[in-house]
Amino acid sequence: MQIPVHFYSYFKDLTGCEQTSETVVEGSTLAELLKKLFQRFPKLAAMERSMLVAVGVDYQSRDYILKDGDEVSLFPPVQGG
């Protein structure tokens, strides 16, 4: 299945794009998706520890199992206010 992935803040600079998509097999976790993305975007891999991950509009843990139709967003720690 194709999972759209959106980047925010300086992650757009690290990847050179605002969004991409990644193909993963049914039952893949977010961790598996990230592993594939880090191969394509090595500069993003350096941010893995502090990276926040959302599916739709909710935060999810790395063991979240992706479903067809999910949209993933990756971004650095937030800075509102």
Partner 1 sequence: MKRQLTITSDPIDEAALLRERSISNGMGAVIYFLGVVRGTEGETNISAIEYEAFQKMVEHQFYLLFDAMEKRWPIESVRLVHRVGVVKVNEPSLWVEVVAPHRGEAFAACQWLIDEMKRVVPIWKKPIFR
Q: How far is the CB of 27 from partner 1 (least distance, A)?
A: 25
Q: Give, as one character, the DSSP assignment of residue 18.
A: S
Binding map of partner 1 across residues 33-62, x = CB under 8 A, - = no contact:
-------------------x-x--xxx---
CA distance 54 to 5: 10
Handedness of CA 60, 45, 22, 77 (dihedral sign): positive
**What residues are paired with 31 via a beta bridge?**
none
Q: How far is the CB of 19 from partner 1 (least distance, A)?
A: 12
Identity of the residue, 10 or 39, whose beta carbon is nearer to partner 1 in the bound complex? 10
Tally of CB atoms within 10 A around 38: 15
Using CB under 8 A, list all residues that contact partner 1.
6, 8-9, 52, 54, 57-59, 73, 75-76, 78-81
